[in-house]
A and B are shown apart, each in its own frame.
Chain A
Amino acid sequence: MIKPMLNCREATELTLQAEDRRLPLTERLAVRLHHRVCGNCRRFARQVELMRQASKRWRHYSEE
């Protein structure tokens, strides 16, 4: 069960969980809605995305 409006801590938790499980549609929409009004969480989500890309690059780097 998910509240219609997430706070930043909840949005952060879901953004991180999305790295390790597929979020249901309701949760994805709730995060997206929160991001529309919250610059800090948008920036946080971009940091998480950068970390994902960094991990990928690191895997390649470790094998080269």
Chain B
Amino acid sequence: MSALADFHHQIEALRPVLLKYARLQLRNPAWAEDAVSETLLAALEKPQSFAGSSQLKTWLIGILKHKLVDQIRKNSRELSTSATSEDGEDLDDLLFTSNGHWREAQHDWGNPEDALRQVDFMKVLEACVDKLPGQQGRLFMMREWLELESDEICKELAITPTNLWVMLHRARLRLRECLQQGWFRAEPAGGAT
């Protein structure tokens, strides 16, 4: 196999993983396909910009992140209008009594290093992000995975800061609930090991 054909092959092999993150970010299969195709095309057009100093996947994810921002810009009208429509029940009322106290005692999640070092934990986290409702998931990913600033997100989607905080508040509470169920509940009490 020639070096170029080999390069094509390696890039194509990473398509599924790129698609996974594109879907997590955009929550729209067609847009995700577009972003990934554009990423692979950009990579194949200038293989020379892959210096080989970093891993191929790192380089491709870097390109993908730019293409995802492009897709968000292109579809911003649609994204900003769905900002309040589909986010399900408010967890706050389940967590707190009417006078604002916790209904249940909160758990100690223990030493983070223990969890964070494990690939299994990353998989649980990924599954929990995947379960977030569309707009909450999109905003959470923009903030935590694309690392956009809050004001950048508001500008791109033409939403108010208050709207953004409300959605991220819900997303983070849901994520916490999911991690509690999917990971920390299985740990011994107090996180002792």
Contact = CB atoms under 8 A, between A and B. Distances in A.
B69 to A, nearest CB: 15
Interface of B is mostly: helix
Given A9-B100, A47-B106, A64 B57 contact: yes
A9 B92 contact: yes
Given A9-B92, A10-B100, A16 B145 contact: no
Contact of B115 (A13, A21, A54): A54
* Residues of A contacting B: mostly: helix
9 contacts: A7-B99, A8-B102, A44-B106, A50-B112, A57-B122, A59-B145, A63-B61, A63-B62, A64-B55
Interface of A: 7-10, 12-13, 16-17, 19-21, 39-41, 43-44, 46-51, 53-55, 57-59, 61-64
Interface of B: 21, 55, 57-58, 61-62, 92, 95-96, 99-102, 105-109, 112, 115-116, 119, 121-122, 125-126, 143-145, 147, 150, 161, 164-165, 168-169, 172-173, 175-176, 179
